[in-house]
Chains A and B, each alone.
Chain A
Amino acid sequence: MLIDVKNMDHRELNDRIRDAQEDCVITNCCGQRFIAVGMSGKHITIEGVPGNALGAYLGGASVTVLSNAQDAVGDTMNDGEIVIHGNVGDAAGYAMRGGSIYVKGNAGYRAGIHMKAYREKKPVMVIGGRAGSFLGEYQAGGLILVLGLRCDGRKIVSYFPCTGMHGGKMILRSDCKDVVFPTQVSCHPATAEDLAEIREYVENFCRKFSMDTETIMDAPFTVITPNSSNPYRQMYVAN
C-alpha cells in the first residue's frame, strides 16, 4: 500500500500505517519524526528522509529506508529490523535491547550507546561505513559491527569509542592501530570463532546492499570486549 506523506504530520502518518492491512510504502517522506514507534508486525519501506526517532521502542516491525535517516534511529528498540540505505545521524540504536539495525553508510556520534542484551534478546547493529565519536558508550550487551567500507584513509571510528562499556562485544573491520580505546576494555584480533559469529550478519548486510561477503570478510577485524561487567564496583565506600 502506497502512502504519500507529503505535508502529512507524524500523527496522521502513524495512524495510516497502523490502519494499513498490508505492507506500506511511504513516499515523499521529509523529516517526519517517530515513524513506526512501538509497532509490531508491519513491513514499512520509506522513500525520502525520515525524521528523528524512527522506529523507537520498535516491536517486531521491519523498516527499510531507501536514503539517509536522522537521529535516534531505533531508540530503545526491542525487536524487529531497521535497514538504512544511507547514513544515520547521532545516537542510532540508543539502548536497543533486541532486533537489528543495518546501515549501509556512516553513523554519527554515540551509535549503539547503552545497547544491552537480555536472555534470547541480542541486538545487532551493523554499520557499513565509519562511526562517529563515542561509539558503543556504556555498551551493556549486544553486538556492534563496523565494516569501515569507503573509509578513504580515515579512521574507522572517531574519538572515545567504548567509554563505560560493561557488556557485549564490538567488532571493527580494521587492525585499529590508529584507534585509542579506554583501559576498561580489551582488544584482540578476531579469532576464527569471532569471524564465524559475524559471518551471518555480514551476509545479511551484503544481501541487503548487494555486496560481496567474501570481499568484506577478507580483512583484519578487531574484537573489543569489556574487562568487567562491574566497572564501578571499587569506586564507593559506604558512609
Chain B
Amino acid sequence: MSVDFIYPEFEVVRNDSRCIACRVCERQCANEVHSFDPKQGSILSDERKCVNCQRCVSLCPTRALKIVKSNCTLRENANWKDDTIKEVYKQAASGGVLLSSMGNPKEFPVYWDKILINASQVTNPSIDPLREPMETRVFLGKKPDRITRDQNGNIRCKLPPQLELSMPVMFSAMSYGSISYNAHASLARAATELGICYNTGEGGLHEDFYAYGPNTIVQVASGRFGVHKDYLDAGAAIEIKMGQGAKPGIGGHLPGAKIIGDVSRTRMVPEGSDAISPAPHHDIYSIEDLRQLVYSLKEATQYQKPIIVKVAAVHNIAAIASGVARSGADIIAIDGFRGGTGAAPTRIRDNVGIPIELALAAVDQRLRDEGIRNNVSLVAGGSIRCASDVVKAIALGADACYIATAALLALGCHLCRTCQSGKCNWGIATQRPELVKRLNPDMGAQRLVNLLTAWKHEIKELLGGMGINSIEALKGNRLMLRGIGLNEKELEILGISHAGE
C-alpha cells in the first residue's frame, strides 16, 4: 500500500562518464541493486535494495560509484524523527518486531571520549617502549589473596587455572552461523598467532578449528548448542553466557534458513530448524544455581580450565558481579549496551542496559570494597574501539577487553548493520558459499594480526608516557584518568577526578 512507501534511504550515484559497464557491481551485490540493461548497454540501479555496505564502491575499477544518503526527507521534526516514523510504517505494514544488527547506533554518551589519560612530566620519567621492556602479558583467573608456604618454607606455586594472553585483548563471542567459516578461520588463526583467544559463541566448534583449542574460548549458553565433552575439553577456557550487551534479558534465535550444512553440523541441530536460545538458562534462578553450572563445567573438565561468566551491563551490575564473583567463576566478562550483535530486537538493543564504562567502574569498586576483587578477573566489552579505549578500561579496573566489531571492521565489515539478512557482501555475516569465499582467511588473519599489533604498540606508548611498564601496574589505576565535561555523579561512579583537579 502506498501509505507504507518509504523512500530509499540511500541513493546510488553512478558517474556515467566513468562507468565502463564492466558489471563488477552487479556481480558483487548480493542485494541485487545493480543490473545490466542490454538494450542501453548500461547499468541500472534499484536503490531500494541498497544497504550501503560499500562493496560496489570499493570494487568499482573506475571509481564511478558512490552511495549517498538520500535527501528526500519527511518534514523535519525533533520529536518524530525520520527513523521513528519509518519504524511505525514498517510495523503497521508487517505486525513484526523490529530487528536490527550490530551495536546501538543512537546518540548516547560515549564515556571513553570524555576520559583523558595522564602522562609523566618532569618528576616521573616516561618510558620509551622502543628502548625498554614493556609487559603487556596478562593472566586471567582467580588469584590467591596471599602467598602461602609449605612446611619447608617454599612458596606454594599452584595457582587456580589461568588464561595467558600476550596482550589484554580478546575476540569476543561470535558464533559460527552468525558469522562465516572464513571469518571464524581468520579469528582463530589470528588469535593463535597473537597469543590471545577468540570465542566460539553459542554455535559449537567446527571440527576444523579444534586445532586452535589453546587459543579458543568455548561458550555454553542457554540453548547448549554443540556442547559436549570434547567441545568443553577443546577450549582454553569455558564461557557461560548469561547475557549479551546488545540484548540483555532476551535469548537468541538463529533462523532455520541459516542452519544449513556445516552450521547445522557444528550446532548439532537439524538443517532448516530454528536454533532458539531461551532467554534464561532454565536451571539458573540464583547465584547458587549459577554456581552449580560453574562447578558442573569444572567437574566435567577436571578443574583444568578457568570458567568465564558473561553478563550484560544492567542497572544492578555491581551487585550481580559480586554474586558472580562468589559463584566459583574465575573470570567475569561484562558486556556494555553498545555491544554488537548479529540480530537483536531494535527496541531492546537501543534501550536496554548501561554503558560499559560506568558498569566496569562500578563493578571494580564494588569487588574491591567487598575484598573479593582477586576472586575474579574482569573482562570489559561492548564497544572497545581502539587502543586508548583499552588503556582507559584497564585503568578503570578491567584485566582485559573483548573486541568484536573492531575485529569485523578489520575483516572488511563496513557497518551497514544488515547482518540479519544473511547477505553480507563482505563474506562475514553470511553462509552463502559464493559470498563466504570473498573473505580470504589468510588475509583476514593477517589484517587482525596487523590491527592488534598496532594496538599493542599504541598501548605500550600510552603506558610508557605514564611512566608505567606493565598492564598490571595500570590495572585499576584511576589516578591516570581525568574526566572532561562530566557531572559530579558521573565522575563519582567512574571514580575519577575532573580534568584540572
Residue B273 contacts which of A53, A75, A97, A167 (CB distance < 8 angstroms)? Answer: A167
As a 0/1 sequence over residues 65 to 81 of chain A, the CB contacts with chain B under 8 angstroms (1 = contact) are 00000011001101000
Q: Are the C-beta atoms of B229 and A229 separated by less than 8 Å? A: no
Q: Are the C-beta atoms of A114 and B223 separated by less than 8 Å? A: yes
Binds B, one of A33-41, A143-151, A188-196: A33-41
As a 0/1 sequence over residues 51 to 70 of chain A, the CB contacts with chain B under 8 angstroms (1 = contact) are 01100110100000000000
Residue B224 contacts which of A110, A114, A239 (CB distance < 8 angstroms)? Answer: A114
* Cα–Cα, bound, A53→B87 (Å): 45
Q: Are the C-beta atoms of A118 and B223 separated by less than 8 Å? A: no
Q: Are the C-beta atoms of A137 and B276 separated by less than 8 Å? A: no
As a 0/1 sequence over residues 412 to 435 of chain B, the CB contacts with chain A under 8 angstroms (1 = contact) are 000000101100000000000000
Given the interface pairs A75-B283, A239-B98, the reply to whether A14 lies near B278 with Cβ below 8 Å is: no
Majority secondary structure, B binding face: mixed
B120 proximal to A (CB < 8 A): no
Q: Are the C-beta atoms of A57 and B232 separated by less than 8 Å? A: yes
Interface size class of B (residues with CB under 8 A): 35 or more
* Cα–Cα, bound, A234→B232 (Å): 35
Residue B256 contacts which of A75, A138, A230, A235 (CB distance < 8 angstroms)? Answer: A230
| Residue in B272, B276, B282, B345 whose Cβ sees the most chain A Cβ within 10 Å | B282
Query: How many A-B pairs with Cβ below 8 Å?
Result: 136
B450 proximal to A (CB < 8 A): no
B23 proximal to A (CB < 8 A): no
B228 proximal to A (CB < 8 A): yes
Residue B229 contacts which of A53, A78, A137, A235 (CB distance < 8 angstroms)? Answer: A78
Chain A residues in 8 Å Cβ range of B94: 237
* Cα–Cα, bound, A114→B202 (Å): 15
Q: Are the C-beta atoms of B97 and A94 separated by less than 8 Å? A: no
Chain B residues in 8 Å Cβ range of A59: 228-229
Q: Are the C-beta atoms of A137 and B273 separated by less than 8 Å? A: no
Interface residues of B in 270-318 (CB under 8 A from A): 270, 272-274, 276, 278, 282-283, 292-293, 295-296, 299-301, 303
Chain A residues in 8 Å Cβ range of B253: 232
Residue B268 contacts which of A118, A230, A231 (CB distance < 8 angstroms)? Answer: A118
As a 0/1 sequence over residues 96 to 110 of chain B, the CB contacts with chain A under 8 angstroms (1 = contact) are 111110000000000
Q: Are the C-beta atoms of B255 and A238 separated by less than 8 Å? A: no
As a 0/1 sequence over residues 128 to 160 of chain B, the CB contacts with chain A under 8 angstroms (1 = contact) are 000000000000000000000000000000000
Q: Are the C-beta atoms of B98 and A229 separated by less than 8 Å? A: no
* Cα–Cα, bound, A14→B295 (Å): 12
Tell me the nearest residue of chain B to A56, going by C-beta: B296
* Cα–Cα, bound, A113→B281 (Å): 10
Q: Are the C-beta atoms of B282 and A110 separated by less than 8 Å? A: yes
B326 proximal to A (CB < 8 A): no
Residue B228 contacts which of A76, A113, A233 (CB distance < 8 angstroms)? Answer: A76
Interface residues of B in 232-270 (CB under 8 A from A): 232, 253, 255-256, 268-270
Given the interface pairs A57-B227, A229-B273, the reply to whether A237 lies near B296 with Cβ below 8 Å is: no
B440 proximal to A (CB < 8 A): no
Q: Are the C-beta atoms of B96 and A113 separated by less than 8 Å? A: no
Q: Are the C-beta atoms of A229 and B274 separated by less than 8 Å? A: yes
Given the interface pairs A114-B282, A238-B418, A238-B420, the reply to whether A230 lies near B273 with Cβ below 8 Å is: yes
Q: Are the C-beta atoms of B299 and A118 separated by less than 8 Å? A: no
* Cα–Cα, bound, A182→B182 (Å): 41
Chain A residues in 8 Å Cβ range of B62: none
* Cα–Cα, bound, A75→B296 (Å): 10
| Residue in B95, B99, B292 whose Cβ sees the most chain A Cβ within 10 Å | B292
Shortest distance from the beta carbon of B225 to any chain A beta carbon, whole Å: 8
* Cα–Cα, bound, A118→B275 (Å): 12
A85 proximal to B (CB < 8 A): no
B70 proximal to A (CB < 8 A): no
Q: Are the C-beta atoms of B296 and A138 separated by less than 8 Å? A: no
Chain B residues in 8 Å Cβ range of A167: 270, 273
A117 proximal to B (CB < 8 A): yes
B91 proximal to A (CB < 8 A): yes
A11 proximal to B (CB < 8 A): yes
Interface size class of A (residues with CB under 8 A): 35 or more
Residue A95 contacts which of B90, B223, B296, B346 (CB distance < 8 angstroms)? Answer: B223
Chain B residues in 8 Å Cβ range of A141: 269-270, 273
Q: Are the C-beta atoms of A238 and B421 separated by less than 8 Å? A: yes
Q: Are the C-beta atoms of B273 and A34 separated by less than 8 Å? A: no
Q: Are the C-beta atoms of A97 and B421 separated by less than 8 Å? A: no
Shortest distance from the beta carbon of B406 to any chain A beta carbon, whole Å: 24
A166 proximal to B (CB < 8 A): yes
Shortest distance from the beta carbon of B7 to any chain A beta carbon, whole Å: 16
Q: Are the C-beta atoms of A140 and B228 separated by less than 8 Å? A: no
Chain A residues in 8 Å Cβ range of B269: 116, 118, 140-141
Q: Are the C-beta atoms of A52 and B256 separated by less than 8 Å? A: no
Chain B residues in 8 Å Cβ range of A56: 296, 300
* Cα–Cα, bound, A157→B360 (Å): 45
A10 proximal to B (CB < 8 A): yes
Shortest distance from the beta carbon of B303 to any chain A beta carbon, whole Å: 8
Q: Are the C-beta atoms of B276 and A40 separated by less than 8 Å? A: no
Chain A residues in 8 Å Cβ range of B346: 239
Tell me the nearest residue of chain A to B275, going by C-beta: A140
Given the interface pairs A56-B296, A167-B273, the reply to whether A239 lies near B100 with Cβ below 8 Å is: yes
Chain A residues in 8 Å Cβ range of B272: 229-230
Tell me the nearest residue of chain A to B291, going by C-beta: A33
Residue A37 contacts which of B98, B274, B300, B420 (CB distance < 8 angstroms)? Answer: B300
Chain A residues in 8 Å Cβ range of B100: 239
Chain B residues in 8 Å Cβ range of A52: 292
A128 proximal to B (CB < 8 A): no
Q: Are the C-beta atoms of B224 and A76 separated by less than 8 Å? A: yes
Chain A residues in 8 Å Cβ range of B227: 57, 76, 95
**A residues bordering B, Cβ < 8 Å?**
10-11, 14, 33-34, 37-38, 40, 52-53, 56-57, 59, 71-72, 75-76, 78, 90-91, 94-95, 97, 110, 113-114, 116-118, 121, 137-138, 140-141, 164, 166-167, 229-239
6 A–B contacts from the bound complex (CB under 8 Å): A56-B296, A121-B268, A137-B282, A164-B276, A233-B256, A239-B90
- New contact pairs (10) apart from A114-B224, A237-B99, CB-CB < 8 Å: A10-B299, A37-B296, A57-B232, A76-B228, A94-B283, A97-B224, A164-B278, A230-B273, A237-B95, A239-B100
Top 5 closest A-B pairs, CB basis? A237-B96, A38-B300, A95-B224, A239-B98, A229-B273
